[in-house]
Amino acid sequence: MNVVHTLKVIAQTLNMGEDLSTMLQPVLEKLLEVTNHDTGWIFLIEDHRHQLVAHHGLPSGLEHRSKLMCEGGCWCKDKCMNGQLKKAANIMECRRIERARELGRPTNGLTHHATVPIFAGDRTYGLINIASVDKNHFSNEELEVLETVALQIGAAIYRLKQEEKKQELARMDERNRLARDLHDSVNQLLFSVSLTAKGIKDKGKDTNVNEAIDLIGEVSSEALLKLKQIIWQTSTEELEDGMVAAIHRYAALIGIKVNVKGDGNVQLPSKVERNVWRIIQESINNCSKHSGEKSVDLHFDRDGFNWKISIKDFGCGFSPQDHSIFSGDGFLNMRTRAHEIGATFNMKSAPDQGTVISISIPLAPIEQNIFRTKKERE
């Protein structure tokens, strides 16, 4: 087994992964393969509590409901949390293996393991433990490989933690935007209904109220439509039938006709698909609110290793010198979402010439990850 090649595969898996629980298992298996060892397990540690997130080749005495692995303390965890474990420890007796033997459970001859802390900066995230039957010494080369992988895992965990923080900030921004939308649209419309109803009441027995009643009906219908739009914008189920179906449903809801060309149903990771959908949704919204037109052209195109999307309306457009457009929430949200998925984003417009929004998503890393995941399942 080529060590350099395996480390490269591990790095790619960690770099593309979005979920620790799914990406650490293949990483551990590759690590055991390249070091030619039988057994391994990974603990993540937070608030002095550990979680078994990956394991391979555990003896049945330890694997039994994973209870011995998931409960209680152990020497490697204690040393790690006390700051005594700063680098790979060559051989360490295992309290969990001892417990299994005391309970009469098979341990397949395992007695010791190597322990490697998972670091990123000054933060400890967990441990990698590696063991083999009758193994009583790990070479410096083996420990260097273990430490290299531990550093890669630490960097990946740090990246995902930062991504979680960004997503939480994005959720807060979304909640704030939702609150503004409710205030600016539905709240104002319902306030108008309230005032109109009060006016009717003040008229007493005046029979000339049909016009006011018609107004209440119109405003109530508009408020209901706005509320449906906001619910659609925050729903997590709209993409179940594919991107194109979601586009047509949402466009019909707000009274826009979308002319779709090309294949809009490309297999994408959920994060990429969700951000692409939000950009298209915001573009359709802009057409409804600002362009004065009731139709848009939406074009999907595969260009080499990029998936290109353009959304064009034929409305009033705007001047590129109008900086208020580029500082608004809609534009900033679209640009931010494109940046989060490594896509390029561009918006062009001119007075009386409509607006074109273009995004280009690099597919090569996405497809490599999908292919690798399929191979691992096979």
Confidence band of 370 (pLDDT split at 50, 70, 90): very low
Q: Tell me: the pLDDT tens digits for 219-268?
A: 777 777 777 666 666 655 567 788 899 889 888 878 889 999 998 877 78
pLDDT for the residue numbered 258: 93
* pLDDT band, residue 337 (cuts 50/70/90): confident
Q: How confident is the model at residue 356 (pLDDT cuts 50, 70, 90)?
A: very high
Band of pLDDT at residue 360, cut at 50, 70 and 90: very high
251 compared with 65, residue with greater pLDDT = 251
309 pLDDT band, cuts 50/70/90, is very high
CB–CB of 154/120 below 8 Å? Answer: yes
Give the tokens for residue 128. 């990698």
pLDDT for res 205: 56
pLDDT (average), residues 87-97: 72
pLDDT-derived band at 325 (thresholds 50, 70, 90) equals low
Q: Count Cα atoms within 13 angstroms, Cβ side, for 54.
A: 24
Nearest to 363 by CA among 285, 320, 302: 302
Structural domains for the chain: 3-163 (3.30.450.40), 241-378 (3.30.565.10)
**Residue 373: which pLDDT band, with cuts at 50, 70 and 90?**
very low
Long-range contacts of 54-59 (CB under 8 A, 24+ apart): 54/24, 54/25, 54/27, 54/28, 55/28, 56/25, 56/28, 56/29, 56/32, 57/32, 59/100, 59/105, 59/106, 59/107, 59/108, 59/110
Residues 106-150: tens digit of each pLDDT: 777 777 788 888 888 778 888 898 888 877 778 888 888 888 888
Is the predicted pLDDT of residue 345 greater than 80, yes or no?
yes
CB 85 within 8 A of CB 115: yes
Give residue 377's pLDDT band: very low, low, confident or very high (50, 70, 90).
Answer: very low
Report the predicted TM-score, pTM, of the whole model to 2 decimal places. Answer: 0.51
48 falls in which pLDDT band (50, 70, 90)? confident
